[in-house]
């Protein structure tokens, strides 16, 4: 598979990235705008979630319905997601409709209507999303763990709290949007059926006059480790654990990815083998690597019946810690194959490629080729993985437990 990347940095701070893919008929668009939840003022937590919903309720000359209908007419599959650093807009459609979709997003970002009438329902939906978490304990467990684990407020729950959402006013969110949604540090990536010359001219025309300053950087504070138990009369005890890892820019990053794959790649991973296959303690157990720009964590989750929750936690933590004793050559080889296969298979998806381009630019300030990633994976040795595990051990765990009774992580 030959890869060709294009990069253009505009004077107003916007970066355009593109990867044409000859076999694709679709073109995927990803926009990362630095107005994520960690920027929410403390007394206005949830502002970014409301802002993301409010942004698509009318922009330019189109009201909510006209905007939605225009995207539908173009066969756009779009979503708005709030993350720690960014609001992430994405839309995938046939390549021939890309230009029209970009024109709509130019309105959404630069000329959102943000009308009083559409504020109240945007906020009401955020409140309902927050309430829905009560009926999804596994998701709630992982969201709250992220909030407790990362330096505050980098991992803060994107929905805020009932109090902050209810007190949010349209003016507060408007000011927040105008301070943060700007071309400075915004990344726009397109992958798939796209021509670079046409795309860069189009973006120049649609976003070239956009102006605005970068928002302030966030001061984050480390939080103490420890266990938080939320009492709930649930059928399962939900156990989520986190410990420190390295971000993508760190030289141990690929060792971290191999370590995570040895623990949790496929059904032969150590966690699945020991916790589910040998002991039948869970249906779901897994571990994932989640990175922000300057910090990262290994997040482990297991859902189990309360009577075996302590045993499940003991076996799970035992496996996380056993990694310091080393990994076998065959485990490393399997992990390499899994990581590289996944890379190639994800490379077939235009949406996955657009998101990867934008993420690379944000985390590294450059784009990684398939070959660079593949070589980096190949270069990881068993010693590297062991050293990584020793440098970043599963000690001082941050834990979030939802269920009838608590457990111990020691």
Residues 108-137 that bind another protein (CB under 8 A): 120-122, 124-125, 128-129, 131-132, 134-137
Separation CA 227–CA 217 (nearest Å): 30
Check if the beta carbon of residue 39 is closer than 8 Å to that of residue 172.
Answer: no
74 binds another protein per the rule CB under 8 A: yes
Contact set for another protein, span 328-347 (CB under 8 A): 333-334, 337-342, 344-345, 347
Which residue stretch of 17-25, 33-41, 43-51, 142-150 sits at the interface with another protein (rule: CB under 8 A)?
17-25
Backbone conformation region of residue 339, classed left if phi is above 0, alpha if psi is from -120 to 50, else beta: alpha
Residues 129, 157: contact at Cβ < 8 Å? no
Interface residue with another protein among 2, 23, 197, 410 (CB under 8 A) is: 23
Q: Which of 293, 148, 294, 155 is nearest to 224 (CA)?
A: 148
Binding another protein (rule: CB under 8 A), the pick from 7, 103, 138, 218 is 138
- Report the site for another protein in 227-286 (rule: CB under 8 A): 233-236, 238, 265-269, 272-273, 276-284
Q: Is 64 in the site for another protein (CB under 8 A)?
A: yes
CA–CA dist 355, 32 (Å, integer): 9
Is residue 304 a contact point for another protein (CB under 8 A)?
A: yes
Considering only residues 175-234, where is the footprint of another protein by CB under 8 A? 233-234
- Distance from first CA to last CA of the chain, Å, rounded? 48
Whose tokens are 């630095």? That residue is 34
| Cβ at position 122, least distance to another protein in Å | 8
Among 18, 142, 349, 398, binds another protein (CB under 8 A): 349
- Residue among 75 and 151 whose Cβ is closer to another protein: 75
The residue (of 142 and 350) whose beta carbon lies closer to another protein is 350
Cα–Cα distances in Å, from 209 out to 89, 106, 110, 213?
A: 20, 11, 10, 13
Which of 14, 16, 17, 24 binds another protein (CB under 8 A)? It is 24
Helix residue ranges per DSSP H, 89-219: 98-110, 116-132, 137-149, 162-167, 170-180, 196-207
Task: Pick the closer one to another protein by CB: 9 or 116.
Answer: 116
- The half-sphere exposure of 298 on its side-chain side, counting CA atoms within 13 A, is 31
- Give the number of residues in contact with another protein, rule: CB under 8 A: 74
Radius of gyration of the chain (CA): 22
Selected range binding another protein among 87-95, 155-163, 168-176, 210-218, rule: CB under 8 A = 87-95
- In the complex, the smallest distance separating the C-beta of residue 348 from another protein, rounded to whole angstroms, is 5
Least Å distance between CB 254 and another protein? 16
Whose Cβ is closer to another protein: residue 92's or residue 258's?
Answer: 92
Phi/psi class of residue 82: alpha, beta or left (left: φ > 0; alpha: ψ in -120 to 50)? beta
């Amino acid at each position: 598979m030959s890869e060709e990347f294009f990069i253009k940095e505009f004077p107003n701070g916007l970066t355009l990235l593109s990867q044409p893919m000859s076999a694709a008929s679709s073109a995927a668009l990803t926009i990362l705008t630095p107005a994520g939840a960690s920027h929410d003022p403390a007394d206005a937590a949830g502002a970014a979630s409301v802002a993301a919903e409010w942004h698509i309720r009318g922009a330019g000359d189109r009201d909510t319905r006209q905007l939605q209908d225009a995207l539908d007419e173009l066969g756009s599959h779009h979503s708005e997601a709030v993350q720690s650093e960014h609001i992430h807009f994405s839309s995938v459609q046939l390549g021939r409709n890309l230009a029209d979709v970009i024109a709509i997003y130019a309105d959404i970002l630069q000329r959102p209507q943000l009308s009083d009438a559409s504020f109240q329902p945007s906020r009401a939906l955020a409140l309902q999303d927050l309430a829905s978490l009560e009926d999804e304990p596994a998701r709630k467990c992982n969201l709250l763990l992220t909030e407790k684990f990362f330096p505050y407020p980098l991992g803060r729950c994107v929905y805020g709290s009932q109090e902050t959402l209810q007190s949010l006013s349209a003016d507060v969110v408007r000011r927040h949007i105008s301070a943060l949604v700007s071309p400075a540090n915004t990344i726009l990536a397109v992958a798939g059926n796209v021509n670079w010359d046409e795309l860069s001219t189009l973006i120049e025309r649609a976003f070239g006059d956009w102006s605005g300053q970068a928002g302030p950087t966030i001061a984050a504070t480390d939080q103490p480790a420890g266990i938080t138990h939320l009492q709930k009369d649930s059928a399962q005890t939900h156990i989520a654990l986190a410990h420190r890892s390295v971000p993508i820019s760190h030289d141990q990053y690929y060792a971290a990815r191999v370590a995570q794959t040895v623990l949790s790649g496929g059904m032969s991973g150590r966690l699945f083998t020991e916790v589910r296959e040998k002991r039948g303690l869970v249906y779901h157990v897994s571990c994932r690597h989640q990175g922000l720009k300057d910090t990262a964590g290994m997040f482990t989750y297991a859902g189990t019946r309360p009577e075996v929750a302590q045993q499940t936690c003991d076996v799970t933590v035992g496996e996380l810690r056993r990694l310091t004793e080393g990994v076998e050559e065959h485990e490393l080889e399997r992990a390499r194959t899994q990581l590289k296969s996944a890379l190639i298979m994800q490379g077939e998806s235009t949406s996955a490629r657009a998101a990867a381009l934008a993420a690379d630019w944000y985390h590294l300030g450059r784009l990684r080729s398939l070959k660079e990633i593949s070589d980096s994976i190949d270069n990881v040795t068993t010693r590297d993985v062991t050293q990584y595990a020793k440098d970043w051990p599963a000690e001082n765990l941050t834990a979030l437990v939802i269920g009838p009774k608590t457990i111990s992580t020691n």
